Amino acid sequence: PSAHLQTYAQRAEKHANPAAKALLETIERKSSNLCVSVDVTKKADFLRIIDIVGPYVCLVKTHVDIIEDFDSSLIDRLKELSAKHDFLIFEDRKFADIGNTVALQYSSGVHKIASWSHITNAHPVPGPGIVTGLASVGTPLGRGLLLLAEMSTKGNLATGTYTADAVRMARAHRDFVIGFIAMHRMDGIGAQAGEAVEDEDFLILTPGVGLDVKGDSMGQQYRTPREVVLESGCDVIIVGRGIYGKGSDAEVREQAERYRREGWVAYEGRVSP
């Protein structure tokens, strides 16, 4: 059957990339396909929210460049929380430059992303050189890359042939590109006639997930975990403001539990209808 009709555990066995395998195993172990996006600007808030949501997530998504009081101790704490709560880390860097530049941005600077982030992402717009550049840093460290094949926002340009070209780019680098930021499954998209793609299993991580509102004032659009996982066949739901934006610690915990449950019920409905 198509990969998304198999269990996460079955799929974990077939993945050679260490980050993809570890993510699928973590999802299975914790019964959670929830990634929380912690888009806050203060170190203390960042760590507090992660400690609260940690038990309910497979993955924590960061934007480290928005943290005002960033220093290397933040990364040490983040790694401790990752071990304590058993989740992987995804720095949502959205690389978008030539290979040589992204290799430097990924390995160096203040943030040294490759040294701590299991997964990162990139826009395919520069062409395959962006994957080669990031892979030169990430592959020796066992990291995984997601290409942005689609986006969640109104009016975005990642559609049609752009999306198909992104999938083709991933197919040419299957050891390092583990999947996509996308709104639905990419199975067979952009394949040439006769090209064997039935066995491919790109992970689909999907932002734009919310249960209480339909969007924001800047073009974000939300769908429910059921629409994303059951109807569109995506693998991981990414939730930001729907969880961390809820106020008290108790409410943040409650929302994390709620989205974990909704995401998991949608998955169970998919693999054993």
CA-CA distance, 188 to 175, in Å (whole number)? Answer: 18
Whether 36 and 21 have beta carbons less than 8 Å apart is answered as no
The least CB distance from residue 258 to ligand 6AU, in Å, is 14
What are 98's two structure tokens? Answer: 């030539």
The answer to whether 147 and 182 are in contact (CB under 8 A) is no
- Binding residue per annotation — 133? no
Residue 193, class by beta-carbon neighbours within 10 Å (0-12 exposed, 13-18 middle, 19+ buried)? exposed
Contacting ligand 6AU within 113-142 (CB under 6 A): 121
The answer to whether 48 is annotated as binding is no
Q: Candidates 1-9, 49-57, 148-156, 166-174 — which segment interacts with ligand 6AU by CB under 6 A?
A: 148-156
Annotate each residue in 208-237 with x if it binds ligand 6AU (CB under 6 A) or - if it does not, as one string. x-----------x-----------------
Closest residue by beta carbon to ligand 6AU: 240
Catalytic residue status for 69: no
The residue from 97, 112, 187, 246 that is catalytic is: 97
The single residue among 27, 145, 239, 256 that binds ligand 6AU, judged by CB under 6 A, is 239
- Pick between residue 15 and residue 93 the one whose CB is nearest to ligand 6AU: 93
Whether residue 241 is annotated as binding a ligand: the answer is yes
Q: Where are the beta strands (DSSP E) in 5-56?
A: 34-37
Sites for ligand 6AU among residues 7-36 (CB under 6 A):
none
Burial grade of 206 (CB within 10 A; 0-12, 13-18, 19 or more): buried
- Asked whether residue 214 is marked as a ligand-binding residue, the answer is no
Binding positions for ligand 6AU, 29-88, rule CB under 6 A: 37, 39, 63
Report d(CA 271, CA 31) in Å as an integer. Answer: 14
Pair type for strands 59-62 and 88-95:
parallel
Based on the residue annotation, tell me whether 175 is a catalytic residue of this protein: no
For 24-62, give one letter per residue: b (16+ CB within 10 A) or e: bbbbbebbbbbbbbbbbeebeebbbbbebbbbbbbbbbb
**Of the residues 52, 59, 113, 181, which one makes contact with ligand 6AU according to CB under 6 A:** 181
The reply to whether 151 sits near ligand 6AU by the rule CB under 6 A is yes
246 classed as catalytic: no
Name the site residues for ligand 6AU (rule: CB under 6 A).
Answer: 37, 39, 63, 92, 121, 148, 151-153, 181, 207-208, 220, 238-242
Residues with catalytic roles: 92, 94, 97
